[in-house]
Amino acid sequence: MPDETKTERPALPQGDTGTKTVFIKSYGCQMNVYDSQRMADTLAPAGYVETTSPDNADLVILNTCHIREKAAEKVYSEIGRLRVARDERRRMGGDMQIAVAGCVAQAEGEEIMRRAPAVDLVVGPQTYHRLPDLIARVGGTKKPVDTDFPVEDKFQVLPAPRREKILARGPSAFVTVQEGCDKFCTFCVVPYTRGAETSRPVAGIVAEVERLAEAGVREISLLGQNVNAYHGEGPDGRTWTLGKLLHRLARIEPVTRLRYTTSHPRDMDDSLIEAHRDLPALMPFLHLPVQSGSDRILDVMNRKHTSAEYLRLIETIRNARPDMAFSSDFIVGFPGETDADFEATLRLIEDVSYVSAYSFKYSPRPGTPGAGMTDQIDEAVKAERLARLQALTEGQQRAFNQASIGRCMEVLFDRKGKHPGQIAGRSPYLQAVQIEADESLIGTVAPVEITTTGAWSLHGILAGTRPREAVA
Ligand code: 5AD
Ligand code: SF4
């Protein structure tokens, strides 16, 4: 491939201004969004500034997702587009390096270079703190591929973001506290791509949250592939649960909101339920994936709980915090799923009544037990079931939004609205809320009276600002 021949480049080549531009595109989950931010932090001391378009970037990093086939395939079409942009830049005398990071990188490693020779380097989720070194090796005899599970902890070496960077990312921030998963659900690649469960020590998390709070962040979402399995080392030398960690983080002023995602029903322990009961800062919203409502399918999925146990758990959490709202993930068409199994899922959805939901057609993933199961479901059946399930969950979401009219909700404003003069934010239940108000409110939490609902968002007015004559 003549256009892949590399000439020797200096380590971390510098442009005229001494700076280089990097464009990082995240696919998939929120942890990838967090990792992308930390990649940018890692590259900042090496002179890289972020840019909003790949076309003018010296380095493009695709931070990929391997969870479903479609997600993984998207990466290869994007590399094809980047290759055209890179060739154009080369014609103009410039260049572009292309890096693949994230779970596709971890799962496919060198195979990526074979399938997409335009890629210059491959880096896994546990080694992106080594990016500056890897970039320096591009152009050498062998393209760098680093998908180790290293002994060093990347969180110990990642540089902290600068204050302006934190502010630019907005008042709501992610913090990874746990990585990997030991559950081995039979459909899921995560235990293979992200490895065994590990938890960050409490001290590093507290320091990171304090820094974010000091810079103006008001909402922290703790992230982990199986976040409520958190068991990090506390400053007292003991193992802390997520409930205990949340109690500690709730003392950091002036963070006003805490969230965590994604949780496994089996790991909702008493300390976490007590945190929901006791901590006003812990938002009354929980993403608690159930995947299926059929006990037979739950068993084959290796979910380790029944639908009745899940429903009892929902009730226990609602007893601890009555205004609690739930969302979930669902998979339709898992191997062997009958009409009766699917109906059981619809019944569970009716029983819980979710305020939002993510649902997917089962996608066989190489190397997982589900992919080898013989009774795979026809694509047309999957599509039909997905449409029925989504009609139900979208109806529940609309009903919840409708029932919000007339309620007063605390909204964290995090951005400008769609139209001039509007600002937008999130309710405690993660509903998007738009109001007409001054931009100076962005970054603050304020009470909003909900007046109308649109297709996907709520509209309201700042509480106490309703014109007198309009008050009944
Ligand atoms: N096929 C379809 N959906 C999947 N998910 C995970 N693996 C698969 C798969 N092989 C869904 C699950 C999970 C969410 C993140 O993605 O619902 O909770
Ligand atoms: Fe995948 Fe979640 Fe199951 Fe772990 S608990 S294997 S991350 S679906």
pLDDT of residue 18: 59
pLDDT at 145: 95
Supply the residue whose CA is at minimum distance from atom 14 of ligand 1. 329
Residue nearest to atom 16 of ligand 1 (CA): 67
Pocket of ligand 2 contains residue 190 by CB under 6 Å: yes
Query: What pLDDT does residue 469 have?
Result: 47
Nearest atom within ligand 2 for CA of residue 329: 8
Q: In the prediction, which pLDDT does 7 show?
A: 33
Please list the pLDDT of the chain residue by residue as tens digits (472 residues): 333 333 333 333 333 345 899 999 999 999 999 999 999 999 999 999 999 999 989 999 999 999 999 888 899 999 999 999 999 999 999 999 999 999 999 999 999 999 999 999 999 999 999 999 999 999 998 999 999 888 788 988 898 898 988 989 999 999 999 999 999 999 999 999 999 999 999 999 999 999 999 999 999 999 999 999 999 999 999 999 999 999 999 999 888 899 999 999 999 999 999 999 999 999 999 999 999 999 999 999 999 999 999 999 999 999 999 999 999 999 999 999 999 999 999 999 999 999 999 999 999 999 999 999 999 999 999 999 999 999 999 999 999 999 999 999 999 999 999 889 999 999 999 999 999 999 999 999 999 999 999 878 999 999 977 655 444 4
Residue 460 CA to ligand 2 center (angstroms) comes to 37
Ligand nearest to the backbone CA of 197: 2
Label residue 165 exposed, middle or buried (CB < 10 Å: 0-12, 13-18, 19+): middle
Nearest CA to ligand 1 atom 7: 188
The finding on whether 368 has its CB within 6 A of some atom of ligand 2 is no
Backbone angles phi, psi at 306, to 5 degrees: -100, 170
Ligand 2: does its nearest atom lie under 6 Å from the Cβ of 183? yes
What is the whole-number distance in angstroms between the Cα of residue 301 and the centre of ligand 1?
11
